[in-house]
Chain A
Amino acid sequence: MTNPSIAPIGAPIVVIVITGLIKQFGRFAALRGLSAEFDAGKFHVILGDNGAGKTTLLRALAGLAQPTRGTVSILGMDPQEACREIGYMAHPSLLYDEMSGMENLRYFARLYDIVGDERCEQVIRAVRLDPELARPVGQYSQGMRQRMSLARAILHDPKILLLDEPFSNVDVHSAREMVALLKAMRDAGKTIFVVTHQAALLEGVADEFVWMQAGQIVERTAGLASNSTRAGER
């Protein structure tokens, strides 16, 4: 891994190094000897068919799935040590349905030693929701829930964002707003990983499309169009 302190000026800084990553669930191998490096400040989109290992890869990066073999290094640390620098948004909302969005964020803020409501209100507004909304999250529409889930993931201002299907069940307008927010975050230096089946939304925004198949990265391309064999993904 390139050490940020000795990297040549202008050279990309590698923030994530994956070496020979194998993740098995019983006899099924979800990840099969995956190795890769990812640069800081880039927008990576992970694509692949169902069962390709996209979600497992994201969970391994978040420290939620322990590798069966191989290593994951984030900013030179183990994922669990680097947890303050990682924001994770899963397919389920990771929110309490019985509490309002603000109550949820207030609780999660405490886990990161964030005091006061200011930051919570700021991230709720950033995802275009109203911090005053008293309705419990269980009564939110799916799109609102996804946006609140994104607000939870960015609450502690992480350097690396891992987002699993952030646009599923979100209307096109809201999805474009989320993309614009993610683009602004990438431009501010965040490293973003998005697992999605709606890759077309991210064309022109993403820096790299990472194609997975059968638990391995099979190709990394700069744009969707450059991979004619997988045009169906769009």
Chain B
Amino acid sequence: MKSFWSITLATLTKDIRLEWRSKDALNAMLFFSLLVVVIFVFSFDPLAEESRHIVGGLVWVAFLFAAVVALNQTWARELRNQVLDAYRVSPASANALFLAKVLGNFIFVSLLEALMTPLFIIFYNLRALGPAWQLIPIGLLGTWALVVNGTFFAAMSLRTRSRELMLPLLLFPVSIPAVLGMVAGTTSILTGENPAHFWIVLLLTYDVVFTTACLGLFETVLQAE
């Protein structure tokens, strides 16, 4: 068990180091999200009240699409020089690799969200009418839902010819319940009309179910030829 966490930490550190040096995923995600914010600002000019109803959807759709960029990069760097084979021939646990990748993506996407959220607040003149602190569990659980499935499906589509197209095709349908929870939960808090507890519980359940399923299946995906 000690070895499992040690390998997870080593892989996570390695991924952060590689991303820090190349900035492939972060630059692409930031640029993409910034474009989405600017395009939406010019497309709509909502009143503050209208913003509260639509921004939940805009924010999460922007983060979902931006996350796909990072998710594709995650495994792409393991394919260069076939480095993944070095992991596959080692005694290291497949799930240690998966967990490290999920944690890495969680950190990258959370960083993106932390940088972009203030821009959404400024551009859409947002102020939450409900308990704003509940945006934190919704943000964390929603981000985990995106990256856990995204990391899994990115690994699944790794050996397909058009993997960058395959990932959204696999990920988006499976993510519908989570996206619904994120958008409805965020809107509930911003408008203050309904409590967001149901959506938080939904996201928590979704995360537990899909994290367990992905951990259970990842070894098969990793060893697939």
Chain B min CB distance to A156 (Å): 8
In the complex, what distance in Å separates the CA atom of A173 from the CA atom of B129?
74
Number of interface residues of A (CB under 8 A): 27
| B90–A96 CB distance below 8 A | no
Contact residue among B81, B90, B225 (Cβ-Cβ distance under 8 Å from A66): B225
Question: Looking at the complex, which one of A90, A96, A112 makes contact with B91 (CB distance below 8 Å)?
Answer: A112
Give the number of chain B interface residues (Cβ < 8 Å).
25
Cβ of A126 under 8 Å from chain B: no
- Which residues of chain A are within 8 angstroms of B86 by Cβ–Cβ distance? 88, 94-95, 108, 152
Q: Judge whether B85 and A113 touch: CB under 8 Å.
A: no
From DSSP, what is the main secondary structure of chain B's interface residues? helix
When the two chains form their complex, are residues B10 and A63 in contact, meaning their CB atoms are under 8 A apart?
no
A99 at the interface (CB under 8 A from B): yes
For A74-94 the 0/1 string (1 means CB < 8 A from B) is: 000000000110101010111
Kindly provide the distance from the CB of A178 to the nearest chain B CB, expressed in whole angstroms: 19
The answer to whether B162 has its CB under 8 Å from any CB of chain A is no
List chain B residues, Cβ under 8 A from A86.
89
Shortest distance between the CB of B121 and any CB in chain A (Å): 35
A residues 101-145 with Cβ under 8 Å of B? Answer: 103, 107-108, 110-113, 136
A92:B10 contact, CB within 8 angstroms: no
Compute how far the CA of A98 lies from the CA of B85 in the bound complex, rounded to whole angstroms.
17
Q: By the criterion CB–CB under 8 Å, are B85 and A108 in contact?
A: no
The segment from B16-24, B49-57, B184-192 that touches chain A is: B16-24
Q: Are A98 and B91 in contact (CB under 8 A)?
A: no
Instruction: Please name all residues of chain A whose beta carbon is closer than 8 Å to the beta carbon of B92 when the two chains form the complex.
Output: 111-112
State the Cβ distance, A205 to closest chain B Cβ, in Å.
Answer: 25
Minimum distance in angstroms from B20 CB to a CB of chain A: 9
Are B18's CB and A98's CB within 8 A? yes
B136 located at the interface, meaning its Cβ lies under 8 Å from any Cβ of chain A in the complex: no
A92 to B77, CA, bound (A): 14
Q: Which residue of B lies closest to A83 (CB)?
A: B91
Asked if A97 is at the interface (CB within 8 A of a chain B CB), the reply is yes
Q: Which residue of B lies closest to A62 (CB)?
A: B89
Residue of B nearest to A91 (CB): B82
**Is the CB–CB distance between A94 and B17 below 8 Å?**
no
Partner of A97, one of B80, B87, B225: B80
CB B213 to nearest CB in A, in angstroms, measures 23
- In the complex, whether A65 has a CB less than 8 A from a CB of chain B is yes
Cβ distance B138 to chain A, nearest Cβ, rounded Å: 35
Question: How many angstroms between the C-alpha atoms of A2 and B89 in the bound complex?
Answer: 25
A225 neighbours in B (Cβ, 8 Å): none
Pairwise interchain contact B91-A63, C-beta atoms closer than 8 A: no
A111 to B86, CA, bound (A): 10
Contact of A99 among B14, B88, B91, B223 (CB under 8 A): B14
B81 is contacted by which of A96, A113, A136 (Cβ under 8 Å)? A96
B91 touches A110 (CB 8 A): no
